[in-house]
Amino acid sequence: MARQGRSASGHRLQRGELIDSLDEIIRIEGGQVLATLIRLTGDMDIAEDALHDAVVVAADVWRRDGTPDKPGAWLTTVARNKALDRLRREAKRQPKEAEAFRLLTEPADVGDTSGDNRDDRLRLMFTCCHPALSPESQVALSLRIICGLSTVDIARVFVVPEATIGQRISRAKAKIAKAHIPYRVPEPHELPDRLRPVLATVYAVFTAGHHAPVGELDARVDLADEGIRLSRVLVELMPDEGECVGLLALTLATNARRRARLDSNGEIVLLADQDRSLWDTAAIAEASALVESVLRRGRPGAYQIQAAIACLHGSAPSYADTDLAQIAELYGLLERRWPTPIVRVNRAVAVAEVEGPRAGLDLLAELVGTPIERWHLYWSARADFQRRLGIYNEAADSYLHALECPSNDSDRRLLLRRLSEVRGEGAVRP
């Protein structure tokens, strides 16, 4: 029989309930606690071990005494003490532990929340996105350390074997430790260079949350919220950087449609068919105001252009009233500045809305045989153009290709529905 405990609000927790609430707290507070521990110990591995120790203690103590009022602070304190215990034992043997022990016991370093230290996570983000690390390592490490994703989930995001992600993360951690990559927010004159990988990583975090790589579409909306929060912190820190503002506007305007994306059965509703009264108009208004003000600066970057597109969709009263021609044009501008296969696919979808499915298919022609064929949305765009052109057998083939790519469960069910639709059409009109 499970032992029972009391929550802060006084009700007694069953074992399952406690584990749910502990998981929930780790999910929400874990990143912040870990970031603080890394600042305090100066070592990612020691910090991760200490947090793990603290969670084990929490599972026991919270069941007995209830969940504390400030679970994040509770975990930080316990983890810090666990790290101290561990380091005190090991400091005599290893220089690394001796150094961490010194950091942890330096009073000036503990609980310093002034000025530049206002956000441990931001500081950690600049470490994880240090240009001395490869771009792949930057994103993988950030998702692991800042967002607490497992290596399995990260492997699904990048469509690579789990072992590869594990290696990238452990190599990056080793380089941070051995090369003494610092935990700090760069000086203002360093920011332009240091910012780009941070923006890319925050956007990757948002995207992994907005469009979950595994499970249901909205299984990781916490990461989308985290992406928006991190974008906001970046704008606060660097209001003069147009791309920070662009990223915040982009994440806000994209996320504003979240509630309308799924119907009551949890199935995906495409943009054209969404109930626009479910959109978060306040978020769209904020994003639109940000985009207008930042575009006036006259230095439109990739995030600003994408934000402008998201705001055009967001502020249209209906799909029919959307300025699709301008959206297609903005994708053209985006592709000139950011010529990636993903941008090409998105542009093809936008152009097809204006010029028809043949034009969309033509734009995809040069992607045939390239690595983008591992992306299910490339195939579903292709399939959609083929369906609209009435070439159902080819459309069915494309949906089958899409289903062979990694995707979440919601996308999968949509693809399967579409596949059976075009197969039906193909049977009726051979």
Partner 1 sequence: MPRYAALIYGTEPTPEDMSDSGKWDKIMQEYFNFGEAAAGVIGGGEALQPVSTATTIQVMGGAKGGDVVTTDGPFAETKETLGGFYLLDCKDLDEAISWAAQIPGAWHGKVEVRPVIDFSGAS
Report the interface residues with partner 1, using CB under 8 A. Answer: 93-95, 98, 130, 132, 178-182, 184, 186, 190
Min dist CB 89 to partner 1, Å, is: 15
Min dist CB 182 to partner 1, Å, is: 4
* Helix ranges (DSSP H) in 316-408: 324-337, 341-355, 357-364, 376-388, 392-404
CB neighbour list of residue 278: distance below 8 Å, 6 or more residues apart: 259, 260
d(CA 105, CA 316): 57
Could you give the C-alpha distances from 17 to 4, 68, 324, in angstroms and in order?
A: 10, 15, 48
Enter the tokens of residue 366: 């040069």
Enter the tokens of residue 177: 């430790």
- Residue closer to partner 1 (CB basis): 124 or 383: 124
Min dist CB 189 to partner 1, Å, is: 10
Min dist CB 235 to partner 1, Å, is: 24
- DSSP codes joined into one string, 22-46: HHHHHHHHHHHHHHHHHHHHS-HHH
CB neighbour list of residue 290: distance below 8 Å, 6 or more residues apart: 245, 246, 248, 249, 252, 307
- Residue closer to partner 1 (CB basis): 188 or 239: 188
Min dist CB 83 to partner 1, Å, is: 19
Other beta carbons less than 10 A from residue 21's beta carbon:
15
Min dist CB 92 to partner 1, Å, is: 9
387 with 395: CB under 8 angstroms?
Answer: yes
Min dist CB 90 to partner 1, Å, is: 12
Q: How many helices (H) and strands (E) does the chain have?
A: 19, 2
